[in-house]
Amino acid sequence: FIESATVSDVPWSIGGLHKERFHLHFPFAWKRRRWLFDLSVRLQRTLGLKRRLPRGITPHLGSQWWCLTRNTISAILNDPKRPIFERYFRRVWIPDESYFQTLVRRHSNQIESRSLTLAKFDVQGKPHVFYDDHCEMLRQSGCFVARKIWAGANKLYTAFPMVSYATPETAPDTTSGNPDIAPDTLNHLFAESAARGSKGRAVLYMQSRFPHQDHRAPLTAAKYTVLEGFFDLFRDFQPWLAQATDDKQTQIHGHLFAPEAAAFAGQKTTVKGGLSNSATLRDNNPTAFLTNLIWNTRSQHQCFQFGPRDVQEIGKILPQDPNAQIFVITGAWLVPLSHSNESLAEIHAEALRLHATEWQHLALLRAPCSKAKVHIWPLSQIIANPKLGLHEILKTMEPNAKCPPTVPEINLDPTAFSAFVRALENRGMHSGLAGNLDSKKPIIPGPDVP
């Protein structure tokens, strides 16, 4: 019983050395002189140095835990080429995983290529640790030894291994393992464990698991909706949206990235997962804030507002998330400004800032690399046809949602608003994002702007 497989057939090696362990020289200890070890490997690779294999052997790898017959051991020890083999393997990296595994193929025709020791390793090459709840699995594994076992696993130490059997019929079948848990099943269980540890569930982050962000993976665990400009243009839009959706399926937040604090639904200060509305905590890592919010509330569709007045860091991230469904009314930030009591000079300065911010945000949304589902309308189109886009917004949030017969009222007087925009233009502001607000002809709604 010895695990023995050719180098080309197994992906066990961890640490960058696979076939090279047999072809390079390793005069320095990996643990004690790591820098010399790495320097030696790089130098040999650069110079193309390669050791010659002794004749009569094919390199094999396997666990250093094995059980061989006396005849096989004697044949290995009495091999006339033993000095040559030992001189060669003395400079092989980790020879206890290859010396007997290779030579047993030279001296035995009856080999069970598996170990009677249950030892499994994670993706970092560290051994799995067994606990009391692994007792039944180990008992049925057909193995006599397991490593490594937690020091406090008293139940496991008592039950495994079984040290005596009443009759030969009750002894385990060591040639094939217990049929209740076949070796393939055990391998599958540990493969799943390794996959969970290295990949796990997408976008799950916690204290014990913080993987590197994969550029191909979504940033969030579920689809969500971002509305830009709708709450500025429509009066009482949030109550209308809440009426049109089921609160058990959809949560409608305010401006989650407002400078003051995150405006959670229902004016809550904390939501699922202990996520606080603190602007300081949120702005420390806006991406993690959004990722955690969607993960913790993934059973419900999340909808929130965003605009040029908000903290813009997350605006760089939203276009990269394929789960983001973004609906934008460009220039809608002009509507709250038209109701302001500040002087025109102050309003003009603020309008220039908001215009520049939205312009940069739209460039990100329209970028070729954008992965989000984006719909953009100029303000003039929505004023001309307030229903434009509302039905589609509801469908993305709840497929069975029905658009209410009435639409929310627009929060402006068209004539006064046009005069306000003209006054800003006369001071030097370009209002192209809002569309054609001065046209006396009815505006014909066009298709979504990609």
Instruction: List % helix, strand, coil for the chain (3-state, nearest 5).
Output: 40, 10, 50
Structure tokens at 363: 């460039």
Confidence of residue 427 (pLDDT cuts 50, 70, 90): confident
Exposed e or buried b per residue across 58-95, where buried means at least 16 C-beta atoms within 10 angstroms of its C-beta: ebbbbbbbbebeeebeebbeebeeeeebeebbeebbeb
- pTM for the complete prediction? 0.64
Handedness of CA 412, 396, 272, 365 (dihedral sign): negative
DSSP state string for 310-326: S-GGGGGTGGG-TTEEE
pLDDT in tens, 37-69: 889 999 998 998 888 889 988 889 888 888 999
Handedness of CA 132, 135, 137, 143 (dihedral sign): positive
Strand partners, 328: 228, 376
Where do the H-state alpha helices sit in 48-126? 70-77, 82-89, 99-107
pLDDT in tens, 137-185: 887 777 888 888 999 999 888 888 765 443 444 444 544 444 445 566 7
